Amino acid sequence: MVTFVDPRGLPGAAALPYTLENPLEDGATIGLMANGFPDSDTFLDHIADAISTRLPGVRFNRYNKGNASTLADDAMLGDVTEHCDAVIAAYGH
């Protein structure tokens, strides 16, 4: 006879919902920063579609570092800071 044992433990703390410090409103702009891996832009397009169904008035600015092994340059970070209310940084393979 084979006995299966579930290796997951019971949670030690209650789950707490995550809330934004400044909730996004209609007209907010979200920056989508791809890191340059193949399809990282495509992945963020799917994220934008999902967010748009929940917040139809949100706009998106797209950024791509072009190379996953480098940091975003000062010009890109300045643009993000000046024009975005929130940023989602993501990667793809």
77, pLDDT greater than 90 = yes
- What's the pTM value of the predicted model, to 2 decimals? 0.74
Strands 59-64 and 86-90, bridge-based pairing: unpaired
The answer to whether residue 86 sits within a structural domain is yes
pLDDT > 90 in the chain, percent = 53
The answer to whether residue 11 sits within a structural domain is no
The answer to whether residue 4 sits within a structural domain is no
- What separation in angstroms does the CA of 19 have from each of 24, 44, 72, 92? 10, 21, 26, 26
Model confidence band, residue 19 (pLDDT cutoffs 50, 70, 90): confident
How many angstroms separate the CA atoms of 68 and 64, rounded? 9
What integer best gives the mean pLDDT of the chain?
Answer: 90
How many distinct structural domains can be found in the chain? 1
92, pLDDT greater than 70 = no
The answer to whether residue 82 sits within a structural domain is yes
pLDDT > 70 in the chain, percent = 98
Boundaries of domain holding 59: 29-90
